[in-house]
Structure 1
């Protein structure tokens, strides 16, 4: 399933501002990869599933919040690949389940809830062991001694294998592109896109712009550099680790922090009105957590003449539309 050949459309956004400024804006619709395994999650999970199968694992475990796009895609992929899957959820259980958790349980995901303090420390060896013992004790898939043997996928799916997968998105970026715009969560997709554009030998005039969805996302620069370094080391065809400069082997890149709207999954009236107006005028749904913030930022940058006249801009739609269901009421409260 995750290895099928993809056809990803480009959608022209005929925004009058861009026409007036002499700019071209297209959306790369990677949200169209699959109804369940949507957007960047398809690419981030691809090689993790290959690795899990090579290691002969039958169960995958990962982490997320109650509206996690990652867990939603993971459950869909596990169902398609006939693997068991467990989701460790941040916070307390609630009944009835929200639409996201209802979906993942219907797909066969077993849910466990842990308090927020434990969740913050889930990377620690002792906390991971507690989680493993919890799963062994419950034995949700009746695997006996094998209940504690599982393949662990990081929160958000970001690891070196995810970077490898996300690098394949670059193949769908047209030649003669000046700016590629990408929303950022954990930094894995951005690092992968950057690496993929390097491999593709994109033109030296191309710049990759990232828009962190959380407040205080400056830490992502170090994360991206580290992920990229790991990927470069894993592939000896490249020897230089890129930074914010452009040379023969690198792509210029920049993270822009002014459009988090107060933090991850935060919403204000300006963003709510923007989503409503944009979707009335263009046949493109926006995910309020990621793509809406990015698109708002792109329009704002065009108003400020950030993009030189004649620039071709590609905005990557990374999916996450299932998460809209948890935000619709919040959007409507601003009207």
Structure 2
């Protein structure tokens, strides 16, 4: 790849002594300014494959504030690919400049096609993909959120040999790709905890398609009402965490995960002496978009 990522480091979080556990954050958000965290991991081998097969155009899918859309657009600009984003929501076509994510992707050269939510639900159908090929020509398809077998391969590189000393590895969960890679590269004596950003227990099946071990569990109590849902309590936690530890969290994924970890520590979920590693999967570009929503609702902003 043309851009070389920075190495992520494990940053210690200084907890009260009475907690009896040690917590570290793997700063995957520092890998790259725009293609950070799990987005770099998921795209790495997909981009190498596209290049190997001779494609010069990438096509992918996402919503108005998608970290994935922003990352694909940035990676495409860096590597010389044309990029196309199929965006959920026809009403957004004339609101690009008012949306930080779409505005950034456009600046990176991404071309958009806005579709209705009904059409978007059928985005993987043969008929829809055929129409896209008729309109855009030949392209390499990257699925929504980036999760496929090549993405799992990239996410298997998140954990290193130095991380084998941790008893628990915690990860926010969206499509299930990142945690699947972490599970596959973990030691069987480690417990992998996933914190879904969405309501429901349906992700178990998706993760099971890719995960090769059974040393994992989903903690489903910290979604705050569902994907991209947020309240004053979570905003306050994110802002306090950044102030106390100089680690920014995003409101959709890592903020909810870290809130959950702190709550579980307080409830003595982790045995005394446990070493916990929380994976920071990036997603910080979404803060600006979330703040625009919070401002409209007269809610506190994320610092």
Shorter-chain TM-score range: over 0.9
Give the one of 272, 275, 283 matched to 1:309.
272
Could you say which residue in structure 2 is the equivalent of 1:138?
none
SS at match of 1:262: coil
Secondary structure of residue in 2 paired with 1:168: coil
Asked if residue 177 in structure 1 is aligned to residue 166 in structure 2, the reply is yes
User: Retained in 1: the 8 A contact 2:170–2:192?
Assistant: yes
Distance 2:101 2:168 in 1: 33
Q: What CA distance in whole angstroms lies between the structure 2 residues aligned with 1:24 and 1:104? A: 39
Structure 1 residue 270: Cα displacement: 1.5
In structure 1, what is the Cα distance between the partners aligned to 2:293 and 2:18? 33
How do 1:44-83 residues align onto structure 2 when only pairs under 5 Å count? 44-83=42-81
SS state of the match for residue 66, structure 1? coil
Query: What is the match of residue 8 of structure 1?
Result: 8
Would the alpha carbon gap of residues 172 and 90 (structure 1) be closer, same or farther in structure 2, given more than 3 Å must change?
farther
Paired with 1:52 and 1:97, the residues of 2 have a C-alpha distance of 32
Contact 2:8–2:27 (8 Å) recurs in 1: yes
How many pairs are equivalent?
Answer: 295
Aligned mates of 1:207, 1:2 — CA distance in 2: 35
TM-score by length of 2: 0.93
Q: Secondary structure of 1:321's partner? A: coil
Whole-Å separation in 2 of the counterparts to 1:196 and 1:2: 26
**Do 1:179 and 1:313's aligned partners in 2 also have CA atoms closer than 8 Å?**
yes
Counterpart pick for 1:213 among 184, 190, 197: 197
Is the aligned partner of 1:242 residue 2:213?
yes
3-state DSSP of counterpart to 1:169: coil
Report deviation, 1:173: 5.2
Contact 2:5 2:31 in 1 (8 A): no
Rounded Cα–Cα distance in structure 2 between residues aligned with 1:58 and 1:114: 23
Conserved in 2, the CA contact under 8 Å of 1:64 and 1:155?
A: yes
After TM superposition, give the deviation of residue 106 of structure 1 in Å: 0.8
Equivalent residue in structure 2 for 1:84, among 63, 68, 82: 82
- Is 2:171–2:279's contact at 8 Å kept on the other side of the alignment? yes
Give structure 2 stretches of 5+ with no counterpart: none
Determine which structure has more spread, i.e. the larger CA radius of gyration: 1
Answering whether residue 145 of structure 2 is matched by residue 152 of structure 1, we say: no
Matches within 5 A, 1:1-335: 1=1, 4=4, 6-16=6-16, 19-91=17-89, 92=91, 93-95=93-95, 96-135=97-136, 148-171=137-160, 174-197=163-186, 202=187, 204-216=188-200, 218-228=201-211, 241-243=212-214, 252-331=215-294, 333-335=298-300
Instruction: Structure 1: give runs of 5+ residues left out of the alignment.
Output: 136-147, 229-240, 244-251
Q: 2:278, 2:294 → 1: CA distance?
A: 22
State the distance in 1 between where 2:73 and 2:221 align: 33
**Cα distance 1:47–1:300, how it changes in 2: closer, same or farther (>3 A)?**
same
TM-score, L = length of structure 1: 0.84
